[in-house]
């Protein structure tokens, strides 16, 4: 079965952002073009569709980590701030952006409020899970058939490790051929 773990996260987020653009209820507020995403950032995002990309990334994070709250996502999207000659310090991302995205995703029933033991927060709804799985399937279908069959169902890290192993085998095969050729040349020299 194909899931979000079977495809590259960057591709999944960009394709999901394109799908979220089609939903009318998910749109950036008027202030979104002027705001920074956190205290640690110097400028607002330079991409014009950054709201949808962040919404897709939040949807994926809720799928993986859920149930999850605003504070945990602030930590996930935070970063270090350069403070001049003083050491860098970690600052969480802005909570208003994440909160508004969670509210919009909940409004269109892609996520829902839930509990798991002592943890409370938003978790993926069946519609959100099916949206992400459909996008993952479309990504795998768009890849060449040989490659998608070869790597179907394997995490991205395993794919990269397998590709590196294949490259290493090709390189060692070439090195062995060069050694054999050198030995043949040496034996022909000795015969002369």
Using alpha carbons only, what angle is made at residue 9 by residues 6 and 15, rounded to the nearest 5 degrees? 100
Instruction: Note the pLDDT of residue 163.
Output: 75
C-alpha span between 163 and 63 (Å, rounded): 28
Digit-coded pLDDT (tens) for 83-117: 889 999 999 998 999 999 999 999 999 999 988 88
The mean pLDDT of 62-78, rounded to a whole number, is 90
The mean pLDDT of 34-54, rounded to a whole number, is 85
Query: What range does the domain containing 186 cover?
Result: 154-192
41 plus 123 within the same structural domain: yes
51 plus 19 within the same structural domain: yes
Average pLDDT, the chain: 84
113 plus 188 within the same structural domain: no
Instruction: Note the pLDDT of residue 117.
Output: 83
Question: Does a structural domain hold residue 167?
Answer: yes
Q: In the structure, what pLDDT confidence band is assigned to residue 187 with cuts at 50, 70 and 90?
A: confident
CB within 8 A of 106, min separation 6: which ones? 112, 113, 122
Structure tokens at 28: 């950036």
pTM over 0.85: no
164 plus 135 within the same structural domain: no
C-alpha span between 132 and 67 (Å, rounded): 17
172 plus 81 within the same structural domain: no
Digit-coded pLDDT (tens) for 127-166: 999 999 999 999 988 877 655 555 555 566 677 777 776 7
Question: Does a structural domain hold residue 12?
Answer: yes
- pLDDT of 186 above 80: no
Q: What share of the chain is helix, strand, coil (3-state, %, to 5)?
A: 60, 15, 25
The DSSP line for 174-190 is: HHHHHHHHHHHHHHHHH
Question: Does a structural domain hold residue 149?
Answer: no
Q: Which of 41, 40, 42, 49 is nearest to 18 (CA)?
A: 49
106 plus 26 within the same structural domain: yes
174 plus 138 within the same structural domain: no
Percent of the chain with pLDDT over 90: 41
Q: Which of 131, 191, 105 is nearest to 113 (CA)?
A: 105
88 plus 174 within the same structural domain: no
CATH number of the domain encompassing residue 68: 1.10.10.10
C-alpha span between 135 and 8 (Å, rounded): 11
């Amino acid at each position: 079965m194909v899931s979000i773990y079977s495809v590259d996260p960057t591709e999944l987020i960009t394709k999901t952002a394109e799908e979220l653009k089609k939903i009318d209820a998910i749109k950036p507020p008027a202030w979104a073009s002027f705001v920074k995403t956190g205290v640690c950032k110097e400028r607002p995002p330079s991409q014009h569709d950054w709201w949808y990309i962040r919404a897709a990334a939040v949807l994926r994070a809720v799928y993986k980590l859920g149930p999850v709250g605003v504070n945990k996502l602030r930590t996930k999207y935070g970063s270090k701030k350069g403070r001049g000659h003083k050491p860098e310090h970690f600052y969480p991302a802005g909570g208003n952006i994440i909160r508004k995205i969670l509210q919009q995703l909940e409004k269109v029933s892609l996520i829902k409020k839930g509990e798991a033991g002592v943890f409370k927060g938003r978790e993926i709804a069946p519609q959100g899970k099916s949206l992400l799985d459909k996008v993952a399937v479309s990504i795998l279908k768009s890849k060449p058939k040989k490659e998608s069959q070869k790597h179907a169902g394997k995490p991205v890290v395993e794919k990269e490790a397998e590709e590196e192993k294949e490259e290493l085998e090709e390189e060692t095969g070439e090195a062995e051929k060069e050694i054999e050729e050198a030995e043949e040349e040496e034996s022909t020299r000795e015969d002369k």
